[in-house]
């Protein structure tokens, strides 16, 4: 008899079997589920500390998604043969899991909680991210911690006008949409997507399709929990003291706090709010009330005042109505040596964005579970502490920076030109220089302008806007272009990016579970109006991409050579290609299909490299005159190297019009000479003549030299 008591739930979902199993692996965790979809398996565990650390006034939740290379039958590359720091994908999936589960923990739960999702097997068809989200939801639901789930999650593609639930990797190649949606039975909690300029109706349809598509998964998790869930944790009862402290805080601080929120300048407003907070805490301390408790209640009072004011008056913290976008200033060409640059300012949010063009040698090599691939478009987002008027630690990018950068990447990526039409590697860096609401969307706008300033032929500019929501019972207000405070105190963070033709990226995080399809539709329509307004403001700086790339950017020339000539261009151990690059200064990429890309900001350097390569691969033509170099002399003539790797013999009788006694009287090794191809001998060796070059007319010679390759 087995020592394990295993519980399983199986269902067919999206054409493949989903299996949720617990009771065998990681039994000391509060909750542990092995989730398998197809042959992709993720172990998801949950552990929560049994007590709360003193002084913790927030919910300390950590989500770690990790991919083990053995899952794909691989050994890690590099010197250290073990997994290192989290990859960008691992960080993004950790955020993807965190976002929908965080709002569902019971209010007031402060126990440190850790969710770890480990990819154990990858079948190269089913992305582990959805499997990890489902497994994490199941592990939380059976763990006994106060999690008000479960959630479900699904990926949605849009192929040939039809939605596809959980598409396989090969299906994604033909999809106009990559959308991940998560939520509960009641509604949607999280959306992350990239789209090829799709309409708002198609995007909303994808969200609702995904929401209905993962309902069977929620049912399966509930069924598993009914069999094996642990006893739910007992939460402490609300303190009677909290009610009395909250009531007194409201009496002491409400009027002054309401007045502070009428200040429209962010820094001044925060100073006034801080002063109200200090004064009210001092007052409560004099009265002998619990100040530590009051500090936590102060944020709730702020929320009540701001939310109530917006719902009752329709006016916001900075005096705007719900639809107005803050003033916009857009400038391009700010940095003379950069290939493309822009400064995008919207209210008190500003991004300085720089685009740099490179060659194939600058592509990022990504070692993923699915295999190694190269990325030719990079977008990096930085959020220095001075952007919010603070002094803070500078270090490597955190999860927030990586997540915001990827959102901006998804917004721009669908409109980038194809690699064969624009053979550059592109890197965009967004430095957030001011922040008060949606710096990621400012980065989208700035990236679009910087790319067009660099001469990247975007078909249409891209803009982004962040929407918010205030909802109380049946009343709600959708807010365009939210401030930072509205983001913190609101019920929704809804970011939409796109062109005048449609949506390219949609990201949504809902903090409540009662959002309706009607609210999402209103938010999308209002976001479209805001996006068009922002695009119009951007057009005052630049309407289309510049006709040519920046003068400081490399010029890339693409041409093809026969595949059987690639080896000659590279040379033994790379000797030939290395000599060409070192001599001319140009960068050269050689594709397996014979595609050659020569790049240099110096046009003459590029041309020298091109002529050199074409000379190597060219076949000698009878009657054509070429430049060459004498590489060897013998009694009966001189051997001359031309067309890069071609050698031919100039017989002593063809060295000069007059009779030649000794070869060295006419040429020596190292001499640069002109030779005419006479033909080929019985063994295929090339016969050359210097004498007939001298006899050629100047006119004939000039025509033939146009055809001739030049020795580097």
The rounded percent of the chain whose pLDDT value lies above 70 is 97
Its pTM stands at 0.84
Cα(23)–Cα(169) distance, rounded to whole angstroms?
Answer: 31
Interval 418-453: pLDDT, tens: 988 899 999 999 999 999 988 999 999 999 999 999
Strands 152-159 vs 349-358: parallel, antiparallel or unpaired: unpaired
Query: Which pLDDT does position 700 carry in this prediction?
Result: 45
> Is the predicted pLDDT of residue 39 greater than 80, yes or no?
yes
Alpha carbons 497 and 445: distance in angstroms, whole number: 9
Domain borders along the chain are: 7-228, 240-313, 328-538, 555-617, 625-707
CATH for 625-707 (3.40.50.720, 2.40.50.140, 3.40.50.2300, 1.10.10.10): 2.40.50.140
Is the domain 7-228 a CATH 3.30.70.3040 member?
no
659 token code pair: 């009779």
Q: How far is 262 from 274, CA to CA, in rounded Å?
A: 14
Q: What is the pLDDT of residue 695?
A: 67
pLDDT greater than 90 at residue 300: no
Q: H/E element holding 332?
A: strand 328-332
* Mean pLDDT, residues 64-81: 90
More confident: 100 or 699: 100
Topology alike, domains 7-228 and 328-538: yes
pLDDT at 708 over 60: no
What is the rounded CA–CA span in Å between residue 617 and residue 645? 8
Was domain 328-538 assigned CATH 3.30.230.70?
Answer: yes
* Tokens linked to 554: 């490399």
Q: What's the Cα-to-Cα distance from 301 to each of 239, 254, 277, 295, rounded to whole Å?
A: 17, 8, 11, 10
pLDDT, one tens digit per residue, over 324-338 is 999 999 999 999 999
Residues 6+ apart with CB under 8 A from 465: 325, 438, 441, 480, 481, 495, 496, 497, 527, 530, 531, 534
pLDDT for the residue numbered 516 = 79
pLDDT value at position 627?
Answer: 85
**In the predicted structure, residue 710 carries a pLDDT above the cut 60:** no
What's the whole-number mean pLDDT along residues 164-170?
94
The partner residues of 67 in beta bridges, in order of sequence, read 119
- Higher-pLDDT residue of 44 and 556 is 44
- Residue pair 30/43 in contact by the 8 Å Cβ criterion: no
Residue 444 tokens, joined: 């989208």
Q: Please, where are the H alpha helices in 57-105? A: 88-101
Confidence of residue 611 (pLDDT cuts 50, 70, 90): confident
The predicted structure's pLDDT at residue 643:
77
pLDDT in tens, 509-568: 988 776 778 888 999 999 999 999 999 999 999 999 998 888 888 888 888 888 888 988
What is the helix, strand, coil percentage profile of the chain, to 5? 35, 30, 35
Q: What is the pLDDT of residue 704?
A: 42
Query: CA–CA separation, 339 vs 453, rounded Å?
Result: 8
Read off the pLDDT band of 706 (50, 70, 90). Answer: very low
Least confident among 90-99, 260-269, 445-454, 525-534:
260-269
CA–CA gap between residue 21 and residue 7 (Å, rounded): 6
**Average pLDDT of the segment spanning 579-592:** 89
How far is the C-alpha of 622 from the C-alpha of 627, rounded, in Å? 14
Whole-number Å distance between alpha carbons of 513 and 492: 10
Res 622: pLDDT: 87
Q: Is the pLDDT of residue 114 over 90?
A: yes
Question: What is the topology classification, in CATH, of domain 555-617?
Answer: Ribosomal Protein S8; Chain: A, domain 1 (3.30.1370)
Q: Report residue 204 as tokens.
A: 């909303």
Tell me the CATH number for domain 240-313: 1.10.10.400
Q: Which residues share a beta bridge with 557?
A: 598
pLDDT by residue (tens digit) across 388-417? 888 988 888 899 999 999 999 999 999 999
Of 62-71, 418-427, 578-587, the range with the highest mean pLDDT is: 62-71
Q: Counting Cβ atoms within 10 Å, is residue 507 exposed (0-12), middle (13-18) or buried (19+)?
A: buried
Burial of 59 from C-beta contacts in 10 A (0-12 / 13-18 / 19+): middle
């Amino acid at each position: 008899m087995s020592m394990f008591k295993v519980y399983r739930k199986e269902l067919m979902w999206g054409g493949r079997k989903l299996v949720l199993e617990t009771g065998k692996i990681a039994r000391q965790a509060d909750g542990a589920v092995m989730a398998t979809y197809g042959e992709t398996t993720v172990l998801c565990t949950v552990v929560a500390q049994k007590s709360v650390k003193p002084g913790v006034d927030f919910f300390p939740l950590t989500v770690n998604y990790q991919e083990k290379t053995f899952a794909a039958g691989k050994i890690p590359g590099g010197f250290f043969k073990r997994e290192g720091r989290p990859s960008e994908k691992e960080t993004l999936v950790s955020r993807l899991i965190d976002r929908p589960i965080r709002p569902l923990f019971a209010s007031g739960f402060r126990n440190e909680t850790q969710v770890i999702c480990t990819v154990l097997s990858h079948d190269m068809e089913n992305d582990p991210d959805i499997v990890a989200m489902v497994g994490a939801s199941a592990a939380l639901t059976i763990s006994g911690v106060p999690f008000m789930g479960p959630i479900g999650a699904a990926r949605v593609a849009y192929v040939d006008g039809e939605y596809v639930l959980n598409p396989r990797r090969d299906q994604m190649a033909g999809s106009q949409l990559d959308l991940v949606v998560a939520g509960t039975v009641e509604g949607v909690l999280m959306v992350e997507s990239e789209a090829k300029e799709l309409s708002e109706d198609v995007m909303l349809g994808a969200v609702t399709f995904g929401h209905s598509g993962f309902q069977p998964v929620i049912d399966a998790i509930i069924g598993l929990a009914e069999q094996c869930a642990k006893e739910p944790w007992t939460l402490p009862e609300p303190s009677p003291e909290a009610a009395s402290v909250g009531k007194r805080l409201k009496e002491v601080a409400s009027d002054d706090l309401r007045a502070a929120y009428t200040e429209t300048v962010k820094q001044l407003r925060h100073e006034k709010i801080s002063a109200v907070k200090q004064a009210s805490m001092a007052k409560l301390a004099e009265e002998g009330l619990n100040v530590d408790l009051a500090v936590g209640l102060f944020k709730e009072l702020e929320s009540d005042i701001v939310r109530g004011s917006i719902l009752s008056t329709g006016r916001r913290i900075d005096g705007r109505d719900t639809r107005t976008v803050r003033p916009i200033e857009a400038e391009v060409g700010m940095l003379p040596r950069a290939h493309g640059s822009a400064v995008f300012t919207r209210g008190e949010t500003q991004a300085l964005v720089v685009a740099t063009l490179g060659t194939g040698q600058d592509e990022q090599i990504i070692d993923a579970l699915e295999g190694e691939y190269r990325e030719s478009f990079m977008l990096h987002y930085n959020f220095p502490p001075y952007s919010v008027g603070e002094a803070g630690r500078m270090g490597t990018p955190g999860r927030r920076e990586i997540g915001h950068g990827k959102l901006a990447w998804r917004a721009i990526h669908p409109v980038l030109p194809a690699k064969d039409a624009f053979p550059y590697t592109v890197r965009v860096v967004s430095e957030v220089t001011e922040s008060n609401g949606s710096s990621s969307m400012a980065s989208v706008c700035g990236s679009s302008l910087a790319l067009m300033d660099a001469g990247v032929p975007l078909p249409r500019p891209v803009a982004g806007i962040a929407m918010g929501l205030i909802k109380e019972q049946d009343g709600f207000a959708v807010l365009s272009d939210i401030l930072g405070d509205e983001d913190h105190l609101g019920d929704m963070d809804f970011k939409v990016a796109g062109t005048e033709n449609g949506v390219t990226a949609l990201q949504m995080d809902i903090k409540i579970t009662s959002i309706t399809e009607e609210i999402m539709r209103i938010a999308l329509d209002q976001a479209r109006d805001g996006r068009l307004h922002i695009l119009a403001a951007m057009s005052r700086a630049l309407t289309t991409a510049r006709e040519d790339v920046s003068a400081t950017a490399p010029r890339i020339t693409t041409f093809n050579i026969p595949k059987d000539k690639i080896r000659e261009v590279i040379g033994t151990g790379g000797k030939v290609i290395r000599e060409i690059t070192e001599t001319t200064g140009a960068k050269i990429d050689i594709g397996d299909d014979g595609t050659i890309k020569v790049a240099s900001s110096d046009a003459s350097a590029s041309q020298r490299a091109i002529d050199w390569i074409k000379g190597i691969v060219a076949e000698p033509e009878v009657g054509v005159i070429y430049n060459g170099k004498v590489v060897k002399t013998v009694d009966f003539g001189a051997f001359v190297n031309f067309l890069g790797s071609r050698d031919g013999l100039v017989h002593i009788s063809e060295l000069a019009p007059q009779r030649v006694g000794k070869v060295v009287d006419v040429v020596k090794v190292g001499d640069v000479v002109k030779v005419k191809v006479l033909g080929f001998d019985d063994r295929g060796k090339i016969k050359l003549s210097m004498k007939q070059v001298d006899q050629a007319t100047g006119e004939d010679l000039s025509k033939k030299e146009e055809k001739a390759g030049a020795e580097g």
